[in-house]
Structure 1
């Protein structure tokens, strides 16, 4: 079983890697234009927090090497995305993003690590960090609901690419299998949620794929488009986070 879990975990790491690197094209454009335009930093900041927490979870978990590798890589990419955002964002967004980084990626993450190492011992450490990871990942997983609402409202999948939805579903599915093999409850919960949301997205895509354009105004759709791109990153990253979690854990 350990061997099967390792093989599945390796596959999960590979899939998660491609999901984590999907925003590279977006940030390449940001660097060329020297502007983040309408993009928001929150998805990348929260994903950085998630992958960092799952990396810590993997360090605490016996045999958690695959959790550490996938989330560690994910945290590395998210750190780069957040850094680029802080460099190229307009001043007002840059200040807001910097405050969030200080609050979440420094303050909250630091507090969790400190409390875990200084105030807890044994299995309690893994339980504490695992529950925090599950809770946060579940909240972040709610972001695709907004995208799905837009698809239903506009009766169009123009801003919900099939490949992204499928890759997220596949990612969550692989990590769900991994979680079942290694019998890790904390990986299972977010993975089940990821699979369920992935299935719903694929069903919506099948229902509305024939509609090339939405039924709302172009301006409205552009606004929704930017929002969906961001939320897609979150989902991806969450899937990663989940994959990371699971693996442990994003447009």
Structure 2
């Protein structure tokens, strides 16, 4: 029965994670339409790509048995994030293009090192520990990215840059994989997603606390991705869009 419940939470986790991976499509439609990355940052996409690559690798049977659902969704996420990164590089200004391209190269190098070391130098439980720690660290980094936006919400007393559904699915995704990790007795899945569950809950609390406060700036409802746009530059970006 426990295995069935774990499987169901894994399926639900896949669905909510897929929503999170696809949510930036609105941002990238805007980038392609305007042929400019404007004030958006490409760093979150590159770091999410690294998290997906490491988590997908960790979920493979020869690294971590019985975690194939971790591999399927993160493998899908890696493909999606790769497309985002390549589009961003294509339309970014020269200086930003070089920075993101360099970071993208770094991400591929880190993943390659982890994969090669785990295959040729480690075996059994040591391989799982090595890959698990790497995946957990970057999962926490990914979940921690909205902290700056949460600080902005408190400072401005406005939820304009923290969309409800984004916060909701961060909470649902983190909760699903947290329970999945607990049922599978896997701290490398449970711990970072427990962190994500807590941050998602805090975002929802902030949302309901500040949601009725009148907005002082133009709408940014299509800037659905947390942390992608610098709050103090949002008016300029929103003017182009007419998130």
Name 2:95's counterpart in structure 1: 92
Cα root mean square deviation, aligned: 2.1
Name 1:174's counterpart in structure 2: 176
Q: Secondary structure at the match of 1:52?
A: helix
Shift of 1:62: 0.8
Name 1:248's counterpart in structure 2: none
Shift of 1:142: 2.3
Name 1:197's counterpart in structure 2: 199
Matched residues in 2 for 1:139 and 1:4: separation? 28
Q: Which structure 2 segments of 5+ residues have no match?
A: 230-242
Per-residue CA deviations over 1:126-182 (Å, capped at 9, x if unaligned) read 101101111222233322111111011111111111111111111111111111221
Matched residues in 2 for 1:172 and 1:62: separation? 21
Per-residue CA deviations over 1:91-128 (Å, capped at 9, x if unaligned) read 11111111111112x21111111111111111100101
Contact 2:144 2:196 in 1 (8 A): no
Name 1:129's counterpart in structure 2: 131
Name 2:83's counterpart in structure 1: 80
TM-score, reference length from structure 2:
0.87
Matched residues in 2 for 1:229 and 1:63: separation? 31
Question: Which deviates the most, 2-11 or 81-90?
Answer: 2-11
Q: Which structure 1 segments of 5+ residues have no match?
A: 234-250
Name 2:46's counterpart in structure 1: 45
The number of aligned residues is: 226
Q: Which has the higher helix share?
A: 1
Matched residues in 1 for 2:162 and 2:41: separation? 18
Shift of 1:230: 5.0
Name 2:68's counterpart in structure 1: 65
Runs of 4+ that moved beyond 4 A: none
Matched residues in 1 for 2:174 and 2:228: separation? 15
Contact 1:57 1:130 in 2 (8 A): yes
Per-residue CA deviations over 1:25-65 (Å, capped at 9, x if unaligned) read 11112111111111111100000000000010011211221
Question: Which deviates the most, 42-51 or 191-200?
Answer: 191-200
Matched residues in 2 for 1:122 and 1:144: separation? 35
Matched residues in 2 for 1:207 and 1:80: separation? 36
TM-score, reference length from structure 1:
0.84
* Residues 199-214 of structure 1 aligned to structure 2 (within 5 Å): 199-214=201-216
Contact 1:19 1:167 in 2 (8 A): yes
Q: Greater RCO between the two (CA within 8 Å, min separation 6)?
A: 1
Shift of 1:201: 1.0
Contact 2:40 2:228 in 1 (8 A): no
Name 1:245's counterpart in structure 2: none
